[in-house]
Amino acid sequence: MATESLRTPSPNAARHDSFALTRHFDAAPAAVFAVFADTRLWRKWFRMPGSAAEYEHDFRVGGRDLARSAFTHPDGRVERLQNRAVYLHIEPDRRIIYAYDTIVDDLPRWASLVTIEIQPDPDGTELAWTEQVAFITATGDGSHDLPHLRGGIQLRLNALAVALDAPP
């Protein structure tokens, strides 16, 4: 039998959150899907912050992505960043579902489930990005973690728009 607990969560407990972003692109759904599926196009918009970045991209159900980089802060401190993903569901030109985690200096920071919906609209494509996240290790009091992640995804979607407009 399940029981409810009224105890205070541990300060080390994962914190769960979610967000959704919607973007319009002046491109057909097949073109939007291609910037996720085609490694050459994916590399035009998917970037890790910092330098000395390495990327692996295996876009298929069960396929994995790995991205690593080193980010130097203005004070000279260097963070080692790693993003690992696995594709769970792919419907060409329509939907992508994947899970990923982010590791900073060998410490797991968050893990997410991402659903990307690609829908035609009269002037191109509407992309809906929904991310469900578990913050594993907070930065400070954790109050900036979700805005940081959401802002990073907004930057990636901006780069995706540029990649769609770039010549082949």
How high is the pLDDT of residue 161?
Answer: 94
Q: Which of 154, 152, 166, 162 is nearest to 48 (CA)?
A: 152
Please tell me the class of the 15-165 domain: alpha beta
Q: Could you state, in order of their start, the residue ranges of all structural domains in the chain?
A: 15-165
Angle at 153 between CA 147 and CA 154, to 5 degrees: 85
CA gap 70, 56 in Å, rounded: 16
How high is the pLDDT of residue 166?
Answer: 72
Asked if residues 99 and 88 have their Cβ atoms less than 8 Å apart, the reply is yes
CA gap 24, 40 in Å, rounded: 22
The whole-number mean pLDDT for each consecutive block of 10 residues of the chain, a chain of 168 residues, reads: 53 88 96 96 90 93 96 92 97 98 95 98 96 93 91 94 82
Buried/exposed 127-156: b ≥16 CB within 10 Å, e otherwise: bebebebebbebeeeeeebbeebbeeeeee
User: For residue 66, what are its two tokens?
Assistant: 């790995």
Give the number of other Cβ atoms within 10 Å of residue 52's Cβ: 10
Task: State the DSSP code for 27.
Answer: S
